[in-house]
Structures are given as C-alpha cells and as structure tokens.
C-alpha cells in the first residue's frame, strides 16, 4: 500500500440518476457531499449507447455551480471541446483511444480553459499514456467497459492504478465503473483518490455511500483516516 497526497474526491455519475429530473438529482448528490459531478457524454459510436451532450450540460449549469467533469465517450473529441467549454464544463476527460493526436487535443482543451483528464479503457496498456500523463490533470482508469452503468467492477485494473501511483503521489487518479461500498477498499488500497460512482450512489442513500467511499480513501489512500496506536 502506497500512501499519496491527494484528497478524496467523489463524483456521482449522473448516468444513474433520473435524467428527467437532472437538476434536482444533481442538487441531491451535491447536498449529500459530492465533490464534483461526473457527466457521461456518449455518442453511440465510440460506445454503444447515447446519452447527452453540450446542450444538456448547458441547461444543467444554470442550476448548479458544481465542478463538471465531462467524460467524453465520443469518437471525435476535438469536435466538442469548445461546445463543452461554452456549456460550462470544467474538465474535459477524453479517451486516449479516441484520438490520433493526444498532445494537440490536450492543448486544445487547455486553450479552451478547461482541465484535462485522460481516460483509458480496460484493454488499454497504461504505459501508452506515459508521455502525456504529466500534461494532464487527472487520469481516469475504467473499471468497466465504457457505455453503461451498473456493470461489475474489474479488480484486475488495480495494477494500472498501482503503476501510476508509484510515480505520481500528487496526481488525481480516478476510477470509473462498479465502485461502491463493496469495491472501494480495493480501489483505495491501490491508490485511487477520484471515485466515480453511479448506481451505488443513486440507488441507495447518497450521503451514506459518499461517506463510506471517503472514509476508505482517507484510511487506505492518504492515511488521513488512520488513527495512531
């Protein structure tokens, strides 16, 4: 177990909320202690599902000041950078697999005034992002195949977290997919500190679940929850 210097950040994924009432659902989880909101943008091409894009994010922005991490599961991320920035996105998390020129995309995102996240699918070797990771604010390691909520957590992905964490004690390392009270300890011990959770938060008591996640990351991840003997 390697301790890191990052605070725990819990980002409920609105994919699991009642999307007909997204503004109130966002408020519900922010009031319950969420640190940010994870917005899953899917285009039906990069992943076999369609959700929403900049127009919906723009409407949601009128109802909350929460940090928006826009997880872009789209084939042409370059096409949407300015629209997401204009809609109120704070972070643009692109998939490494979705672009031929990650360096140019990272610069485009920064020029648009957003933070940069890079996401990797389960079958992507984490070493492939070695030469861009320092240009990004966060890495998002997928612990399910992107496209749908409610799937089972893939513990094998913890090798990727440990690999990154061993050289990056200050970096926000996120996990996405199947996270909740049953899986958070494994994730926290590996060194993840940004936790995306959809079903676990929205299908239960959000405050309680967010607190369980935070306690685990603080106990196993940054040592803040450790009591001295």
Ligand X SMILES: O=C(CO)[C@@H](O)[C@H](O)COP(=O)(O)O
Q: Which residues are the active-site residues?
A: 40, 176
> Least CB distance from residue 112 to ligand X, whole Å?
22
Query: To the nearest whole angstrom, how small is the minimum distance from the Cβ of residue 150 to ligand X?
Result: 5
Judged by beta carbon, residue 21 or residue 111, the one nearer ligand X is 21
What's the start-to-end Cα distance of the chain, in Å? Answer: 18
Helix, strand or coil, per DSSP, at residue 212: helix
The answer to the question of residue 150 lying near ligand X (CB under 6 A) is yes
Q: Can you tell me the distance from the alpha carbon of 46 to that of 79, in angstroms, rounded to the nearest whole number?
A: 14
Q: Does 177 bind ligand X (CB under 6 A)?
A: yes
Q: How far is CA 108 from CA 78, 118, 175, in A?
A: 8, 13, 24
Q: Is 82 or 151 the residue whose CB approaches ligand X more closely?
A: 151
Query: Which of 84, 179, 184, 213 touches ligand X by CB under 6 A?
Result: 179
For residue 195, the SS3 value is: strand
| Contact map string, positions 107 to 146, toward ligand X, x by CB under 6 A | -------------------------------------x-x
Please say whether the beta carbons of 72 and 78 come within 8 A: no
Q: Does 38 bind ligand X (CB under 6 A)?
A: yes
State the minimum distance, in angstroms, from the CB of residue 214 to ligand X.
Answer: 16
Asked if 156 contacts 185 with a C-beta cutoff of 8 angstroms, the reply is no
Segment lying near ligand X (by CB under 6 A), choices 51-59, 92-100, 109-117, 190-198: 190-198
Tokens at 105, concatenated: 């995309």
Query: Of 102, 93, 99, nearest to 72 (Cα)?
Result: 93
**What is the DSSP track for 32-45?**
TT-S-EEEEEEBSS
Of these, 138, 199, 216, 222, which contacts ligand X (CB under 6 A)? 199
Residues that bind ligand X (CB under 6 A): 13, 15-16, 38, 40, 71, 144, 146-151, 176-179, 196-200
């Amino acid at each position: 177990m390697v301790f890191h210097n990052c605070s725990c950040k819990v980002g409920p994924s609105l994919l699991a909320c009642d999307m007909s009432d997204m503004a109130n659902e966002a408020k519900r989880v922010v009031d319950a202690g969420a640190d940010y909101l994870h917005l899953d943008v899917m285009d039906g091409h990069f992943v076999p599902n369609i959700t929403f894009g900049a127009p919906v994010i723009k409407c949601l922005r009128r109802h909350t000041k929460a940090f928006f991490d826009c997880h872009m599961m789209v084939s042409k991320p370059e096409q949407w950078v300015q629209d997401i920035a204009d809609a109120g996105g704070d972070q643009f998390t692109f998939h490494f697999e979705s672009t031929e020129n990650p360096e140019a995309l990272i610069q485009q995102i920064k020029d648009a005034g957003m933070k940069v996240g890079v996401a990797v699918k389960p079958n992507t070797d984490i070493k492939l992002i070695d030469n861009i990771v320092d240009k990004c604010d966060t890495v998002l390691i997928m612990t399910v195949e992107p496209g749908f909520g409610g799937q089972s957590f893939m513990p094998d992905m913890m090798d990727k977290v440990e690999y990154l964490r061993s050289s990056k004690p200050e970096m926000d390392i996120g996990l996405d997919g199947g996270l909740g009270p049953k899986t958070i300890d494994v994730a926290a011990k590996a060194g993840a500190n940004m936790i995306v959770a959809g079903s676990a938060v929205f299908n239960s008591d959000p405050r309680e679940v967010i607190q369980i996640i935070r306690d685990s990351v603080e106990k196993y991840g940054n040592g803040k929850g450790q009591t001295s003997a």
